[in-house]
């Protein structure tokens, strides 16, 4: 019993000394070092997300941001996280390119006592103690919103020569294995199955980029041509790439093929003003403010909410002109 007491008091003493050390260090002006591993620069969304994080970090004199770009490769993100651990940063935040494969490196962070915040995308791991908070959008809901807008508006917008008996949809998916690609597909299909005349006839990844979106849409056009009634793009960039492919094929995007995509970046509003895109579902990349608020809260000893959901809307072509000037990305 005595031995247990002795060990306990040693542990308590060590904890007190450690927390005093943190308080003194912060009081002495030691900065909170945050390591952020970004996916890459694959889309306008991602560029706006990076800008939001970097510019927000600059507003906090007590924060030092170490930013690393993984060029859309998971191995680069794992390397960056390991390097943050080796440097002994105070907090690690990252946007995981895919959902799986993170458990080992997150365990290393946990062993080093470094809290991890998930920004924008979730991870798939059995051990939920490996991250403290996940902030970002509800991607399943975004997929549902895109589908709901489509079934509610297709008849009104379709080319009069087209039938309502069969509505053939092609889908450009995001990065294979990524949370937004998986979840947006789930949400979209959840609504679409209730309308048996709406059918997805082709679905392939365009990796969230304009060039891949164009390339895959070219292949869809070659294979299905005029049979295609609708394009659902998991992001605006791929839809914008696809618009080019549709025009080069000799059809009118937004008229011969109704297009709905996700993100609500400026390029999507511009395409809507040209009549080439029909609707964009909002997914806000402006996560910088909530990320650094969370970092400060965490370092002040507060418990973060496990899930912080971003609030978002849906913008059809009719509101593009009035909405564009208010868009921040
Ligand atoms: O929709 C896409 C980007 O994870 C929500 O990633 C993000 C997605 C976004 O490349 O444009």
pLDDT tens for each residue of 182-200 = 999 999 999 999 999 999 9
Q: How far apart are CA 328 and CA 140, in angstroms?
A: 24
Mutate to test the pocket of ligand 1, among 120, 181, 208, 312 (most ligand atoms within 8 A of CB): 208
What is the structure's pLDDT at 251? 98
Ligand 1 atom with the shortest distance to the CA of 137: 5
What is the structure's pLDDT at 8? 53
What is the structure's pLDDT at 7? 53
- Please state the separation of Cα 284 from the chain's center in Å: 8
Kindly state the tokens that stand for 198: 């709406």
Output the CA 235–ligand 1 centroid distance in Å. 7
From 283, 302, 320, the end of a domain falls on 283
List the residue whose alpha carbon is closest to atom 8 of ligand 1: 180
273 and 297 in a single domain? The answer is no
144 falls within a domain: yes
**Distances in Å between the alpha carbon of 318 and those of 119, 160, 300?**
32, 19, 46
Output the CA 180–ligand 1 centroid distance in Å. 7
Helix axes 236-249, 266-273, angle to 10 degrees: 30
Q: pLDDT grade, residue 107 (50/70/90)?
A: very high
**Distances in Å between the alpha carbon of 137 and those of 248, 281, 303, 313?**
34, 12, 21, 11
Mutate to test the pocket of ligand 1, among 183, 235, 310 (most ligand atoms within 8 A of CB): 235
112 and 75 in a single domain? The answer is yes
317 falls within a domain: no
231 and 297 in a single domain? The answer is no
List the domain range (segments joined by +) for residue 226: 139-283
List residues near ligand 1 (CB under 6 A).
42-43, 45-46, 120-121, 180, 208, 235, 237, 262-263, 283
Q: Structural domain tally of the chain?
A: 2
- The pLDDT of 258-267, averaged and rounded, is 98
228 falls within a domain: yes
117-132 tens-digit pLDDT = 999 999 999 999 999 9
How long a stretch of residues is the chain?
329
What is the structure's pLDDT at 9? 55
What is the structure's pLDDT at 60? 96
Q: What is the CATH number of the domain that holds 130?
A: 3.40.50.2300
166 falls within a domain: yes
């Amino acid at each position: 019993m005595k031995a247990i007491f002795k060990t306990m008091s040693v542990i308590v003493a060590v904890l007190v000394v450690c927390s005093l050390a943190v308080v003194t260090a912060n009081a002495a002006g030691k900065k909170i070092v945050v390591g952020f591993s970004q996916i890459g620069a694959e889309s306008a969304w991602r560029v706006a997300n990076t800008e939001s994080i970097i510019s927000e970090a600059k507003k906090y004199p007590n924060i030092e941001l170490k930013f690393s770009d993984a060029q859309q490769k998971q191995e680069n993100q794992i390397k960056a996280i390991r390097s943050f651990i080796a440097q002994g940063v105070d907090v690690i935040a990252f946007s995981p390119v895919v959902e799986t494969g993170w458990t080992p490196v997150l365990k290393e962070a946990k062993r080093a006592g470094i809290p991890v915040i998930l920004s924008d995308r979730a991870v798939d791991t059995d051990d939920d103690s490996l991250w403290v908070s996940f902030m970002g959008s509800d991607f399943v809901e975004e997929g549902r919103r895109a589908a709901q807008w489509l079934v509610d508006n297709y008849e009104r917008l379709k080319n009069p020569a087209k039938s309502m008996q069969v509505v053939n949809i092609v889908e450009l998916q995001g990065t294979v294995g990524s949370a937004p690609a998986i979840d947006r597909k789930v949400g979209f299909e959840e609504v679409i199955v209730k309308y048996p005349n709406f059918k997805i006839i082709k679905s392939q990844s365009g990796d969230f980029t304009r060039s891949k979106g164009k390339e895959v849409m070219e292949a869809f056009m070659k294979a299905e041509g005029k049979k295609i009634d609708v394009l659902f793009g998991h992001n605006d960039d791929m839809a914008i790439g696809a618009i080019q492919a549709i025009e080069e094929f000799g059809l009118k995007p937004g008229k011969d093929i109704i297009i709905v995509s996700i993100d609500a970046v400026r390029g999507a509003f511009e395409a809507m003003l040209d009549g080439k895109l029909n609707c964009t579902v909002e997914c806000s990349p402006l996560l910088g403010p909530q990320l650094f608020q969370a970092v400060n809260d965490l370092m002040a000893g507060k418990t973060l909410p496990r899930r912080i959901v971003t609030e978002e809307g849906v913008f059809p072509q009719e509101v593009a002109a009035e909405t564009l000037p208010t868009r921040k990305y």
